[in-house]
Amino acid sequence: MKTLTEEEFRAGYRKAQLIDVREPNEFDGGHILGARNIPLSQMRQRHKEIRKDQPVYLYCQNTVRSGRTAQMLKRKGYNDLYMLKGGFKGWGGKIKAKK
């Protein structure tokens, strides 16, 4: 797994599967535009929704949950894993929030 700076993350996430591993209430409060919400708490049941043949870009609020998610996905055979350095709270790009 590779930790990417915001610039590196921004350069590649549109061509990847962007997964927000925070809980739904956090996701609804604001997330990176284009992200899918698969919380770490549901990842064991839902990891098959993520394709193994495409890069996976993960983020959480800081980096703890995305790191755990990456370790779990690696054990399940995912290899192209990237994590946002500093997490969502360090993101300065476009976000979407439910009103």
What pTM does this model have? Answer: 0.95
- At residue 6, the pLDDT reads 96
**The pair of three-digit structure tokens given for residue 23, joined into one six-digit string:** 């809980």
- At residue 98, the pLDDT reads 80
CB 58 within 8 A of CB 69: yes
Locate all alpha helices (DSSP H) within the chain, ordered by sequence. 6-12, 24-29, 43-46, 64-75
Q: Measured between alpha carbons, how far is residue 64 from residues 5, 76, 94, 98, 99 in Å?
A: 16, 19, 22, 24, 27
In Å, how far from its chain's centre is CA 14?
Answer: 12
Which pLDDT tens digit goes with each residue over 12-67?
Answer: 999 999 999 999 999 999 999 999 999 999 999 999 999 999 999 999 999 999 99
pLDDT > 70? residue 99: no
CB 44 within 8 A of CB 6: no
